[in-house]
Chain A
Amino acid sequence: MLRTYSLILLAVALAAGQGHDYTQADVDAGSRLYSNNCSGCHGVDGNTMQGANLSRGTFRRATNDEELSRIIINGLPGTPMPPSAFKPEQTMQIVAFLRAFPAIRARQTSSGDAARGKAIFEGKGSCLDCHRVSGRGGRLGPDLSDIGELRRPADIEQSLIDPGAVIVPQNRVVTVTMRDGKTVRGRLLNQDTQSIQIVGPGEKPVSIVRAEIRSVTDEKSSMPSAKDKLDARELADVVSYLATLKGLQ
């Protein structure tokens, strides 16, 4: 209950910060409209359309609510965003929800200390050996510079504890066995009917023609579980740190 109440305050405060006085009822109604009309393309978390992340409360093509409303009504020609026929009140409710999106996501923020988490991430955790953040670290694993935008804290925590449990398609690691028996292992970048692209030796993107391939098999994540390495508090700290990573703003 308390959590819900803080969410209301946060959402309304944030919306008010944009110069509009949205109510929680607006946000709730907007949430339903979003779920029924928008989430099919934009995803439940607002982050599934390339170049159109709706989860951060700020928008590439709209600096204010009027512009945002205009895009919702008129769509964006030349993009998959279609026009709609929402009434002004409904458009306002969707805008209210979009403005509150970051606050809604923030409700699940871990109670850890982000500064301590950063130190663990870069030190004891050795995470930079494989992961990269803002231009530092390895490229074998996914770049985490904007992981706080892309994933909810609960998902980040799950990936730290059980890295192989849920691997999103973008993070698949495959072993490619060539016709001559040689193997190449790496993160899958892309594929088509003729070829596949993976992060190859030396962290370089390489393209391999399917005609030269005998098989492609999925691998379990090579990431070690944090549960043997970090205690509960350290884990919460790392989650909190990762949740702050929002990419280049």
Chain B
Amino acid sequence: MRKALLSLLLAPALLAQVRPEDLVRARQTPDNWLTYSGSYDSQRYSALNQITPGNAKNLQMRWAFQVKSLEKFEATPLVVDGRMYLTQAPNDVLALDAATGRVFWHYSYEASPKARLCCGIVNRGLAILGDTLFMGAIDGRLIAIDAYNGKPVWSTNVNGADPATGYSITMAPLVVKDKVIIGTGGGEYGIRGFIAAFDAKTGVEAWRFYTIPGPGEPGHDTWAGDSWKHGGASVWVTGSYDPDLNLTYWGIGNPGPDYNADGRAGDNLYSDSVVALDADTGKLKWHFQFTPHDVFDYDSVQIPVLADIAWQGRTRKAMLWANRNGFFYVLDRTNGEFLLGKPFEKVTWATSLDSKGRPILAPGAAPTTEGTRIYPGVQGATNWYSPSFSPRTGLFYIPTWVGYYSTFTKYDLTYEPGQRFTGGTPRSVVPGVRGVGYVNTRKEEDGSGAIRAIDPQTGERKWEFKFTDVTDSGILTTASDVLFTGSRDGSFYALDAKTGTELWRAAVGGQVVAGPMTYRVGGKQYIAIAAGSTMFAFALPD
């Protein structure tokens, strides 16, 4: 009897174990949110359907959790069996009751003060396997944390480098089978990028793929001279995984120096590319480069969205990609074949794409000492903000910067460890998210924002929901055809995913710089979103 009682008490805790097959089947268990994007295909689509276009107007705030960090709040939490795991910048982890927002435990990692980050001392979230959480830290460490009590289990320096040289981690890791996969940031500091996998139990490195090929490797000759040593090609947004193909897909960042390419003649592989790696070995299966020899900081760090879609009479294993460079792409994810490419926003750096998807450059489109105006501007037509694909509507949803431009200048520089290695200064009327104040008096022609719904079959826009300001928010869609997204001007929306009609809106009072997610506890569907310095959870009334 006593034994039975004990096992009863232990039973809920044991549910927190997340097995590799649970991650594969995440779509079928929508009460939980087990990865950064919710499922390995990174559609940020949930099968939950309690909140509908008909009742969304009744949504209420159920709880709010205020973090103590004033940094940008870019995290998507995980939810496992009613427990939410959340990061607070720079590297705190909090376990909350997902139904109430009450704290179970708090872990604070004190990162090295030598860490160098170009664009905010931030963290985007966690990965989980078994009863262990995994977090990348701004000083380049990967830390395993006990999900029951918040105690660190192991920690490793994934970069093998001094954080003062600019190697850093801001992304949520991806767990595949028994490995934790993560990349490195630092593209503005002359790092050499990579993706690496670590044994989830021990933290021992299993494989490493350099995003810039070394001497003797294919693609090395796409970098002039020694430029490959400090060519950037960072990885700072979580990848995707196709269990059937056993391929993991990652978007790669810009080449460095960002704006002065005089010393790096060539295509600069695999910067601004998507790479498909064998999940067991890290071996490259294929790559597709969106922006060869980039001079505008068009990182391809978008989330690789995997979707099986009807394509000219048959189902294809596709990859949908709205790139920072302004083009929307459809690729075959089995082999990287280019299927479709079309601008989804104003583009002046290229005139079009050729039959292989390679951009045809516009004459004179390069940074100069005096400055050259280019669309899209340095933050791109979209950026790292999670898009969404709904298999129900068949539409791909893109957070879009509309009519936005920068004037790109360049200057000469040499590499110095830990120094910014950009070689230019883009100037825009619209500030990057770190410079946002409380007031916006800009004109629409200087840049605005929108959620755009694209038909992947044609690249044509089906609908658009406009914002006065640009948007840094991700998108969530659900099986009841409701789309959730936020705005820089402090609102959180439910839209009809079929038409773009506004269903509901909440004033969250702070800029949304994160992707929404959803989960269910006690039979109730919640929508969670970080805004300003607060995590909000919304649900229907009891």
Task: State the A residues within 8 Å of B (CB).
Answer: 35-37, 39-41, 48-50, 74, 77-80, 82-87, 169-170, 172, 188-194, 218
Contact = CB atoms under 8 A, between A and B. Distances in A.
B418 A193 contact: no
Contacts of B16: none
Interface stretch (B240-248, B350-358, B425-433): B425-433
B443 interface: yes
Contacts of A82: 116-121
A193 B489 contact: yes
Interface in B418-462: 418-420, 425-427, 429, 434-435, 437-443, 446
Contacts of B440: 190-192
Contacts of A87: 416
B166 interface: yes
B489 A218 contact: no
A36 B116 contact: no
Interface in B391-435: 411, 413, 416-420, 425-427, 429, 434-435
B10 to A, nearest CB: 41
A83 B419 contact: no
Nearest to A172: B441
B346 interface: no
A170 B441 CA distance: 6
24 contacts: A36-B411, A36-B420, A37-B420, A39-B425, A77-B121, A78-B70, A82-B118, A82-B120, A83-B116, A83-B117, A85-B164, A85-B166, A85-B189, A85-B418, A86-B419, A169-B443, A190-B438, A190-B440, A190-B441, A191-B441, A192-B469, A192-B487, A193-B487, A193-B491
B70 to A, nearest CB: 4
A192 B491 contact: yes
A218 B441 CA distance: 11
Contact of A80 (B419, B434, B441): B434
Interface string B85-122: 00000000000000000000000000001011111110
A235 to B, nearest CB: 28
A193 B69 CA distance: 27
A41 B434 contact: yes
A211 to B, nearest CB: 11
Given A80-B434, A190-B441, 19 more contacts: A36-B413, A36-B420, A36-B425, A39-B425, A40-B425, A49-B435, A77-B70, A77-B121, A82-B118, A82-B119, A83-B115, A87-B416, A169-B443, A169-B446, A170-B439, A190-B439, A192-B489, A193-B466, A193-B469
B71 interface: yes
A189 B489 CA distance: 14
B495 to A, nearest CB: 12
Those 6 A-B pairs whose CB atoms lie nearest each other, nearest first: A85-B418, A78-B70, A192-B489, A80-B434, A169-B441, A190-B439
What does DSSP make chain A's interface, helix, strand, loop or mixed? loop
Contacts of B446: 169
Given A40-B427, A78-B69, A188 B441 contact: yes
B316 to A, nearest CB: 37
Contacts of A79: 70
Contacts of B117: 82-83
B209 interface: no
A88 to B, nearest CB: 13
Contacts of B490: 192
A193 B467 contact: yes
B52 interface: no
B468 interface: yes
A213 to B, nearest CB: 12
A205 B145 CA distance: 51
B475 to A, nearest CB: 16
A46 to B, nearest CB: 14
A38 to B, nearest CB: 9
A37 to B, nearest CB: 6
Contacts of B189: 85
A184 to B, nearest CB: 16
Nearest to B433: A80
Residue of A41, A77, A80, A172 ringed by the most chain B CB atoms within 10 A: A80
A74 B468 contact: no
Contacts of A78: 69-71
Contacts of A80: 120, 434-435
A191 B411 contact: no
Contacts of B118: 82
Contacts of B438: 190
Contacts of B489: 192-193
Contacts of B439: 170, 189-190
Nearest to A188: B441
A117 to B, nearest CB: 28
B270 to A, nearest CB: 26
A19 B437 CA distance: 35
Contacts of B434: 41, 80
Nearest to B505: A194
Contacts of A190: 438-441
B113 A74 contact: yes
Contacts of A36: 411, 413, 420, 425
B467 to A, nearest CB: 5
B491 A194 contact: yes
Contact of A191 (B164, B418, B466, B468): B468
Interface string B46-73: 0000000000000000000000011100
Nearest to B411: A36
A43 to B, nearest CB: 9
Nearest to A192: B489
A67 B103 CA distance: 37
Contacts of B69: 78
B121 A85 contact: no
Interface string B114-151: 01111111000000000000000000000000000000
Nearest to A85: B418
Contacts of B467: 193
Nearest to B442: A169
